[in-house]
Chains A and B, each alone.
Chain A
Amino acid sequence: MTLAQNLPKRRFKFPFAWVVTWAYLLVMLLIPIGAMLLKAATSSPQEFWEKATSDIALSAYDVTFVTALYAAIVNGFFGTLLAWVLVRYEFPGRKIVDAAVDLPFALPTAVAGITLATVYAPNGWIGQLVEPLGIQLAFNRTGVFIAMVFISLPFVVRTLQPVLQEMEKELEEASHCLGATNWQTFWRVQFPPLIPPILTGIVLGFSRSVGEFGSVVIIASNIPFQDLIAPILIFQRLEEYDYVGATVIGTVLLLISLILILIINFLQRWGQKYVG
């Protein structure tokens, strides 16, 4: 490493970037995390466990994680389809569709929330189509699902696209030459290397959905035991000045995001095996 050669000469220089990075992380990120964990530690393990597994909290986890999982799986399927279509086919408007996939990243969640609530409400453009069938799409768990699908839409597409683009054409041709059908070529040759990026995208989308607040709080009715998600429960606890209650659920969510990060790192390493 050339840098190592430079090091002796520069040993006494003030490592400016190093100090700024750690100081900023410490003040902005690590101390706040520490503050929350310390606050959580002020309650006894027994009290913590009781608050973390109260009925209302358990029902909030259920709504949050199950709905986020559904949304992630739906986007796993349609995201794969979208990435495939965008990489393999040429069609009018392809560039616009490609750019539009990033919209959920760029659109403020409050805007997403009010427009989804309007479109999927019983008198909205899409809501009124299913209203005669007795199906209500907004202001219940389905609404939570719709908001989560919206905000996690780009992840699978964006993790899969580069992998699809770099896929070797020769493998596919070899498979055809050996007499495989299109369908066999897809399942046996093209699909297996796509599994790690698809799973990575699904977990990234899931992780985003689990933490989502803005769009869900608007499209759901936020009633406990019905469609109340964990982040909104934290918000409600804070409004009631129940800081310990909020902290306990916040700590649970933080631990789950840490676990999800580990899973994502593992999936990315797995995916790199195929690239190498």
Chain B
Amino acid sequence: MEFASALSSRDLLDLSGFKRLDSTTLASLSIAPSSVAKTHKGLATLPVRLSSPEPIFHYLFVKPHDPQYTPIINAHPNINGRSLFLSSIPFDTTVHHLRALFIAIGGGRIETVIFSDEPLPSRPIMPDEDQLIKNRKRKRSHHPDGTAQTAETLQWPPLWNRKLHAPDTTAVAVFVDHAAFELAVKAINSNSTDNPKNDYVWGSGIGKGNFIPELGKSRYEDHHVRMFPDPEWLQKFADDSLEKYDKRLKAEEETRRRKANEPDEDGFVTVVRSSRPRPPLSAEEIAERLKKEEKRAKKGYHPDFYRFQQRELKKEQAKKLLSQFEDAKRSLQERKGRKKP
């Protein structure tokens, strides 16, 4: 037996005390909708049968959406009265799944679905709102830390062909209009756990035009292919990103320089780094410098360490002696000159 296979524990797998999970066992674990309450804590229960040979049910909990959550309102200003809040959504939920579900149970048409684990689109700014922001002096709202710009740049290509949802993900289904929403609420009530005829299978009824990538093996193989995009495309992506970054840096620099000279509406000038001379040193700084110099002096300086230094030193000494000799000669001549008359 090879060592690596010993580690895999597959060959030595001791399955005593275990039983293969077959359809019957799984079905025996399943909870029939009839045993689940129709509502819980104000949310209606909507059973959906999962696509498996065994009758396995998943339970969605639904209620009319009360849009108090500000970012949602900002992103979707007009969803009041036509949105439905869903929790415990299956991990593979897409907008197509929910559309197909509500069509199957007789609900209205869904315009869009907002998932809690997906970023909200940026809010469209109205002309009057722009004025409002100025009045409120929200001067630094644009790019306080530079992240605002990055959103404008090119997005990285996705590494996965399909987004899957963690168990704590919720969704808000936005219907085309209020009437559709009303229809959906009615459909939920009539197809809740007390309706034995509800046999909608999750994922059925999605149109062929709405392509949803498969799960399983192909998902992970596709992921590995996506990790290595086409080199040319990748080069272009990097070039574009860096070009934009350069432009942004230049623009920032220009803005900074401009602001350094222009007072704003209140008369303040933004203080930025400039090429002006530094203010005079404080007493402590001077003391520190002096200390450093003293240390350096103590450490010692050897002017005659190298041969060239010695040569230069000798030259200087010779020069000095020569100049002294010249001086002495001159002064002697001067004295002699004084004595002569």
Do A and B assemble together? Answer: no
